[in-house]
Amino acid sequence: MDSRRKFIKTAGLVAGGLLLDSQLSIANIHPTPGKIRIKPKRLSKGDTIAITSPAGAVWDEKQIEIFSNILKDFGFNIVLGKTLTEKFGYFAGTDEFRAKELNDLFADPNIKGIFCMKGGWGSARLLDKLDYEIISKNPKVLVGFSDITTLLISIFAKTGLVTFHGPVGNSGWNEFTSFMFKNVIMDAAETAFMIGPDVNDMPYTINPGKATGILMGGNLTVVASLMGSLYLPDWKNKILFLEETKEEPYSIDRMLTQLKLAGVLGNISGFVFGKCVKCDAEEPNKAFKFMEVLEQHIKPLGIPAFYGAMTGHIENKLTIPLGIEATINADKGTWYLNEAAVV
């Protein structure tokens, strides 16, 4: 009950704009100049929303109905993609089938937003099959996380379209998660990203200070897997946010080393790691702890950085727009959108 009261109180403060740092004036900060970005239209009650599965097959089809009802509660009309019931090995249909559905959903003027049912693996196999010209000419909200990180980053890199790292259909949509989704995508708020309602959600400062930049990131494994491809943005002056699950410290070490050698870590202006769920070493007496690995890679950068944001394979999730300017305060473990993510 105490955590629920804390959430409602904090939610009210965010909605009223009262969580902004007293030394930070959002109104006086302008978007970072550079590549032209495309902001999708905000979602409103009565809009038609499509649910698709561009990666893994949906094995529990009851989840489709549950997710549909969640979106209906927001006031949306729902269109179900054919990928939701298609099976091709561990994919929701062949690569061509899944890519065609995503292209068709972007091209359909009646569809205002596209939500992903689940992650898994497979989004990267679509990248050379997507019609980026159609996507850029038909900008709309695209939401997902985990393996969907591939689509979020690549579509932004190729088109400039702002995409959204947020909950998928088979993840939890509790009060916190639903509020933050609505705040960013429906209310078009220049919002503070809240600390979660649980005492265990308190952040940890790696390097103190504030940094402003364009948000970019997602699942660490997926970001690392894109290194060397043609589907990445310029990392200069970006705030990199990451999350991960079920990876041991040595694996986190390997992937962060890959980001360092690829020049990513040396270019970013700020760093946020959300949650690393089930990331303990199988043999802890023979390994570094996760936080030791994180500090080994991030502390030497000297940029503002913190761990513990509400993003990842967790119950309380933020909806984070890729391609939007934000400011982080690593001392407090808070971050703010300096502009609305939708128009």
Measure the CA–CA gap between 213 and 195, rounded to whole angstroms: 20
Does the pLDDT at position 123 exceed 60? yes
With helix as H, strand as E and coil as C, how does the chain read?
CHHHHHHHHHHHHHHCCCCCCCCCCHHHCCCCCCCCCECCCCCCCCCEEEEECCCECCCCCHHHHHHHHHHHHCCCEEEECHHHHCCECCECCCHHHHHHHHHHHHHCCCCCEEEECCCCCCHHHHHHHCCHHHHHHCCCEEEECHHHHHHHHHHHHHHCECEEECCCCCCCCCHHHHHHHHHHHHCCCCCEECCCCCHHHCCEEEECCEEEEEEEEEEHHHHHHCCCCCCCCCCCCEEEEEEEECCCHHHHHHHHHHHHHCCCCCCCCEEEEEEEECCCCCCHHHCCCHHHHHHHHHHHHCCCEEECCCCCCCCCCCCEEECCEEEEECCCCEEEECCCCCC
pLDDT-based confidence at residue 276 (cuts at 50, 70, 90): very high
Residue 26: per-residue pLDDT:
29
Residue 212: per-residue pLDDT:
98
Does the pLDDT at position 137 exceed 50? yes
- Stretch 216-239: mean pLDDT, rounded? 97
Does the pLDDT at position 13 exceed 60? no
pLDDT-based confidence at residue 198 (cuts at 50, 70, 90): confident
Give ranges for CATH 3.50.30.60 in the chain: 1-19+191-343
Residue 34: per-residue pLDDT:
46
- Stretch 68-78: mean pLDDT, rounded? 98
Which region among 32-46, 105-119, 178-192 has the lowest average model confidence (pLDDT)? 32-46
Does the pLDDT at position 112 exceed 90? yes
- Stretch 80-90: mean pLDDT, rounded? 98
Structure tokens at 318: 């933020």
Instruction: Look up 313 and say whether it is catalytic.
Output: yes
Tell the CATH topology of 1-19+191-343: Glucose Oxidase; domain 1 (3.50.30)
Does the pLDDT at position 22 exceed 80? no
Which region among 16-25, 44-53, 93-102, 141-150 has the lowest average model confidence (pLDDT)? 16-25
Structure tokens at 202: 């308190």
- pLDDT digits 0-9 by tens, 160-175: 999 999 999 999 899 9
Instruction: Look up 297 and say whether it is catalytic.
Output: no
Give ranges for CATH 3.40.50.10740 in the chain: 31-171
Instruction: Look up 229 and say whether it is catalytic.
Output: no
pLDDT-based confidence at residue 199 (cuts at 50, 70, 90): confident
Neighbour count for residue 25 (Cβ, 10 Å) = 10
Percent of the chain with pLDDT over 70: 90
pLDDT-based confidence at residue 194 (cuts at 50, 70, 90): confident
The correct CATH number of 31-171 out of 3.40.190.10, 3.30.1340.10, 3.40.1030.10, 3.40.50.10740 is 3.40.50.10740
Catalytic residue among 53, 68, 123, 146: 146
Residue 305: per-residue pLDDT:
98
Put residue 300 in one of left, alpha, beta given phi > 0 → left and psi -120 to 50 → alpha: alpha
Residue 213: per-residue pLDDT:
98
Catalytic residue among 68, 171, 313, 325: 313
C-alpha atoms less than 13 angstroms from C-alpha of 107 in its C-beta half-sphere: 11
Cβ-contact 318, 166 below 8 angstroms: yes
pLDDT-based confidence at residue 343 (cuts at 50, 70, 90): very high
Residue 195: per-residue pLDDT:
82
Does the pLDDT at position 33 exceed 80? no
Catalytic residue among 101, 243, 247, 248: 243
